[in-house]
Structure 1
């Protein structure tokens, strides 16, 4: 209740002075939602274990985004680049899985035979087709979770 009254007072003051409160930064067009960095069980590089390691991205815009040339990379520099056939609908999510598989139904595959995301800590970066950083998410492992919500 105290926060609500403070906010109301700030809004009233801003209106009286004819000034606006600072706008919040706009969400990036492609935002990291979640990273699953430690797949269940022993890390034996089976394809099912590799595919249990993934990153989920969200199109925050009201329009479809053609992801050709966009990329995701980790702190080490392992890089996945989206192909020409990936169109992410407005407000839709896509999952990038580390292992091998067939792209479609909301998932694309890095087609790696080794893990990307470190189990202790790492940073994920999303870059647009111009190579400009659009979003990033860092994590440090927690004993209670093998994933992080960004």
Structure 2
């Protein structure tokens, strides 16, 4: 009997995280912080630095007023924008024309440090949704 109760308890423990994961979230997915080549500041190089935000929920989520910041407080604020259910949006550092799946910070220089930094995603209310840190020059990107 004790073995059955223990097994049932383990089964519940295994199901709870899966259930929470099934609910989904809007979260930082990837930071590509060290663009290829030397950092000379051309727009294509600056745009090779980006952050991806994934919506793993089953519904579209408005990101209007949400912010993405680094440890030095460079801030990108979303205008009117909705990320679709199960979709990912890429926020590039440089200049360009916004599309459904790519947004641009319109900066002329890099934001993400090549060795360590911290990304913070906040709702328009200021509530922190997610953070992702890295501390390595051995890699060019981090899956959060």
* Shared fold (TM-score, shorter chain, > 0.5): yes
1:54-69 counterparts in 2 under 5 A?
Answer: 54-69=50-65
1:1-16 counterparts in 2 under 5 A?
Answer: 12-14=7-9
Say whether the 8 Å CA contact 2:114–2:137 is kept in structure 1.
no
Give the gaps of 5 or more residues in structure 2. Answer: none
Say whether the 8 Å CA contact 1:30–1:126 is kept in structure 2.
no
How many residues get paired?
138
Q: Tell me the residue number matched to 1:148.
A: 142
Q: Tell me the residue number matched to 1:47.
A: 43
State the 1:140 CA deviation: 1.0
Give the structure with the higher percent helix: 2
Give the gaps of 5 or more residues in structure 1. Answer: 1-7
Larger gyration radius, structure 1 or structure 2: 1
Runs of 4 or more consecutive aligned structure 1 residues displaced over 3 Å after TM superposition? 8-11, 20-28
Matched residue SS, 2:9: helix
Q: Distance in 1 between matches of 2:122 and 2:54?
A: 14
Q: Distance in 2 between matches of 1:124 and 1:12?
A: 40
Q: Are 1:77 and 2:82 counterparts?
A: no
Out of 13, 31, 50, the position equivalent to 1:21 is: 13
1:24-63 Cα shifts (integer Å, max 9, x gaps)? 3946732111100010111011000000000011012110
Name the CA shift for 1:21/1:108 in 2 (closer, same or farther; >3 Å): same
Normalised to the residue count of structure 2, the TM-score between the two structures is 0.86
